[in-house]
Amino acid sequence: MNCKEATESYESWLGQRTPIIKADLLLKHQQMSADVFSFMRATFYRWLELWKETCADLTNAPVVLAVGDLHVENFGTWRDQEGRLVWGVNDFDEAFDLPYTNDLVRLALSAHLAISANHLALRPADACEAILKGYAKGLKEGGSPFVLAERHQWLRTTVAGELRDPVKFWEKLNDLPTNKARIPGRAAKALNSALPAKKLPYRVVHRTAGLGSLGRQRFVALAQWNGGQIAREAKALVPSTCVWFSGKKDDRSQYDRIVRQAIRCPDPFLDLRKGWIARRLAPDCSRVELANLPKDHDESRLLEAMGAETANVHLGNKRAAGKIKRDLSKRPDGWLHTAAKAMVRVTIEDWQSWSRR
């Protein structure tokens, strides 16, 4: 299949599992044409096809419960049960059992594309080396969550500057139009359960966010509580795109499984129930974008942290750690950079083909 055919096939499959918002899907198609980084983020279904064809020698690596659509902007912050700021992988919509190399190569590909877009200044080979260094160190040390308190102060400084201005954050949400469509019963229950008080009055708005999930239903409840504004979001939960690619009939999402078994300081506001993901939205609970980071941040160290956090997720498969270490030891120097370069080439070609459609 070419990109257009794959897009039609995937969207048809998705539409059989959840209602599709056509206006959001049109926006997604427009964003896919805008630049290759956005295209990569929005088309995990194409990644699966191109990855299998281009990096066949890496697809037989040890299998873990992987993030799937990992990239340099799939990291964010949240508050844990103690109120501490935590950093880590932000989204697990596409979690699936995959070779560990899938996440590493996709993360490296995204770093290459971010460098091309001037969001990172490292050399591509150095970016790949940093990712792999952090990953290998995480495996060796057994993993550890990134709680930004007495440890990881450099990372707190890096992402704290990106934490959104509360005034602007709430202005943006408050400017969204009130949702006039019927809210599915289970979505309403997810929102009500996520709020801090029963029968709390709230206004529901429709929010567009992300790229891969554009087109899915997403409802946000805005309320006033104890002197300030709060927000909770309910997003439709669907099976991983890997189910579409594999042709399997198992429609269960692996989201809950991966957040439970990963080495992770959990978000107490994250709740998965009957086809919906409910979570807290706040200035300090958001995805971290590279373009908004301080200009003098340590890029190599940040990519090392991303590699280490990837190891935190993969270490949820306790028995896989030894197999991964042995497999890594057999890989030639520069293998990740070589694979990422190959994926950059085919991804750019695919994006250009899509843009000319």
Residues (pLDDT < 50) of the chain are none
pLDDT at 104: 99
Structural domain harbouring 180: 3-284+296-355
Classify residue 291: in a domain, yes or no: no
Classify residue 60: in a domain, yes or no: yes
Q: CB–CB of 48/241 below 8 Å?
A: yes
pLDDT at 349: 96
| The total number of structural domains that make up the chain | 1
Classify residue 75: in a domain, yes or no: yes
Q: Could you give the C-alpha distances from 297 to 122, 155, 161, 302, 304, in angstroms and in order?
A: 12, 9, 10, 8, 13
Classify residue 289: in a domain, yes or no: no
Give the residue among 146, 138, 147 at the shortest CA–CA distance from 311. Answer: 138
- Measured CA to CA, the distance from residue 146 to residue 63 in angstroms comes to 24
pLDDT at 136: 96
C-beta neighbour count of 145 within 10 angstroms: 18
Q: Which two tokens stand for residue 271?
A: 């709740």
Classify residue 13: in a domain, yes or no: yes
Question: How many CA atoms within 13 Å lie on the side-chain side of 50?
Answer: 25
pLDDT at 163: 60
Classify residue 319: in a domain, yes or no: yes
Classify residue 19: in a domain, yes or no: yes
Please provide the distance, in angstroms rounded to a whole number, between the alpha carbons at the two ends of the chain.
Answer: 14
pLDDT at 197: 93
Classify residue 290: in a domain, yes or no: no
Q: Are strands 218-225 and 203-206 parallel, antiparallel or unpaired?
A: antiparallel
Q: CB–CB of 124/333 below 8 Å?
A: no
pTM of the predicted structure, to 2 decimals: 0.94
Using alpha carbons only, give the angle 159, 146, 240 rounded to the nearest 5 degrees: 90
